[in-house]
Amino acid sequence: MENAAALPVAASTDVLIRADAGQIAKLLSDEGYRAKVEADKDGTPFIKSGSGGRNFTVYFMGCDGGVKLGPCSSIEFYTGFTIGKPFPIERTNEWNAKSRYARTYVDKENDPVIEMDIYLDAGGMPRAQFVENLQIWTEAMADFDSFVFDDGAGAKTKK
């Protein structure tokens, strides 16, 4: 029989992180990030933040009847880059073939975009795991910045 004391157990006081704008904004702030909750024209909240000199937005997804009516199931980290010329789709394919967690595409203005989704339904996610995902996001965003502006020379896309 295994020693039960040796098995890791989550503290009962551990608050689970859900797709809640106020809770995530506080967590971002507690972790040293800027976090400003705003709302789009239909009242759906989003969070403006940033890391390493690059802005990003946290969008709330999978909302049951809209966030005003029900909880959301996930969030999406998002940032777009303006480079002044069309970004080759082959470069986004190159990134996506090597990147494990974040995905990229070219938006309607032919600028590169990077996104990463976090599923938070089914009761939420422990804070430490959310913070780890936030770190994965900020590293992927920084790597993609290098990939876009330095032709990939400094990018560490294998995660």
pLDDT at 137: 97
Q: What are 13-65's pLDDT values in tens digits?
A: 578 999 999 999 999 999 999 999 998 887 788 999 999 899 999 999 888 76
**Which residues have C-beta within 8 Å of that of residue 48, sequence separation ≥ 6?**
34, 35, 36, 38, 55, 57
Burial of 8 (0-12, 13-18, 19+ CB in 10 A): exposed
CATH architecture of 15-149: 2-Layer Sandwich (3.30)
Nearest to 111 by CA among 136, 134, 144: 144
Structural domain boundaries of the chain?
15-149
Q: Which amino acid is at 29?
A: S
Helices (H), 50-158: 89-98, 127-149
Tens digit of each residue's pLDDT (9 = 90 or more) over 70-124: 678 999 999 999 998 999 999 999 999 999 999 999 999 999 999 999 999 878 9
For residue 66, what pLDDT is reported? 57
Whether 47 and 21 have beta carbons less than 8 Å apart is answered as yes
